[in-house]
Amino acid sequence: MKRIVSKPLHYFILAAVLMWIKSYVAYKTEFNLGVSGVMQQMLLFINPVSSVLIFLGIGLFFKGKKAGAWILAGSFIMTLLLYSNILYYRFFNDFVTLPTLLQTSNAGSMGGSIMDLLKAHDVFYFVDFIIYFFFFFSKKIDWYNEKVSIKNAVTILSLGFMVFSVNLTLAEIDRPQLLSRTFDRNYLVKYLGAYNYTMYDGVQTAQNSKQRAFASSNDLTNVVNFKNSHYAEPNSVYFGKAKGKNIIKIH
C-alpha cells in the first residue's frame, strides 16, 4: 500500500476510484431508479465519474499538503451528500433538495427517526474516507517534493468536463428534455448522478430565489385577471350536496 500511495497523484487516483465505486454501489443497492436497458445501465455506471474528477481534481492545482487537504475535505463532502440522500431516500423514497439539506434546525427533532434509518452496512460508506485520512496524516506521501504538474491537473479536470458532456448528451438522447422536464428527481439521479443532481438543484434554487427577490405586485395582476376571466359558476345540481354532512378531503 505504501508503494501504491506514495505520491499526491496516486492519492487522488485512490480517492477518485473508491468514491466512484462507492457511489455506483449505492445507486444499485440503496435507490430504486428504474434502470432498464444497456444505455441506462452504462449511464448509471459512468455518471459519478465527472463529479469525482472535477470536484476532487481541483485539489491538484494546490501545492503541498493543501492538495491532499482539498481531496480529503472533498471526499468527506461528497460522502456526506451521498449518505444524506441514502437516509432521505429510505424514509421519503425521494432525493434530498438543497434547501432541505440546509435546514439543519430540523435535525434535532429527527434524532430518533434518523437512528431508525441506520443500517449495519452503512459503515461501508465511510471506510474509504478513513483510508484517505490515514494516508493524509502519515508520512507515506511526500507532499512537498512530489507535486502534480499543471499539465496533469488540467488534463484530469478537462477529462471530467468531457465525461460530463458525453454523459449529458447520451442522457438527452435516451431522455429528451431531461433538464426542462424535472418532475421526477429519479430521472435526474439516474441519468446525471446524485452529485450533478445536487449542483442542478442548487442552480434551480438560486433562480427561484432570484425570481422571488425581484417579484413585484404587478406580477400578481396578470394572475388575478386570468382567474377572474376564467371563473366558472358552481353547478347548481351538485352545489351544496354535502351541506351538513361529514366530509373527508383527500389531497
pLDDT in tens, 76-96: 999 999 999 999 999 999 999
**Rounded distance between C-alpha atoms, residue 55 and residue 78, angstroms:** 9
pLDDT at 236 over 80: yes
Note whether residue 159 is domain-resident.
yes
Query: Quick one: cell of 130?
Result: 478513513
End-to-end CA distance of the chain: 58
At position 204, the amino acid (one-letter code) is Q
Note whether residue 66 is domain-resident.
yes
**Rounded distance between C-alpha atoms, residue 61 and residue 151, angstroms:** 10
Q: What are the backbone dihedrals phi and psi of residue 140, each rounded to the nearest 5 degrees, phi first? A: -80, -15
- Residue that the C-alpha cell 461501508 belongs to: 124
Note whether residue 226 is domain-resident.
no
Residue 156: per-residue pLDDT: 96
Identify the band that residue 215 occupies on the pLDDT scale cut at 50, 70 and 90: confident
Domain count of the fold of the chain = 1
pLDDT, tens digit, 9 for 90 and up, residues 117-131:
899 999 999 999 999
Residue 219: per-residue pLDDT: 80
pLDDT, tens digit, 9 for 90 and up, residues 134-179:
989 887 787 888 888 999 999 999 999 999 999 999 999 999 988 8
Note whether residue 76 is domain-resident.
yes
Note whether residue 224 is domain-resident.
no
**Rounded distance between C-alpha atoms, residue 59 and residue 71, angstroms:** 6
- Residue that the C-alpha cell 503541498 belongs to: 64
Question: Could you tell me what percent of the chain has a pLDDT over 70?
Answer: 94
Task: Tell me the residue range of the domain where 40 lies.
Answer: 8-213
**Rounded distance between C-alpha atoms, residue 239 and residue 233, angstroms:** 10
Note whether residue 91 is domain-resident.
yes
Query: Quick one: cell of 96?
Result: 434530498
Identify the band that residue 51 occupies on the pLDDT scale cut at 50, 70 and 90: very high
At position 24, the amino acid (one-letter code) is Y
- Residue that the C-alpha cell 449511464 belongs to: 43
Note whether residue 88 is domain-resident.
yes
Considering just the CA atoms, what is the radius of gyration of the chain in Å? 24
Note whether residue 42 is domain-resident.
yes
For 157-214, give the secondary structure using H, E and C.
HHHHHHHHHHHHHHHHHHCCCCCCCCCCHHHHHHHHCHHHHHHHHHHHHHHHHHHHHC
DSSP-assigned letter for residue 31: -
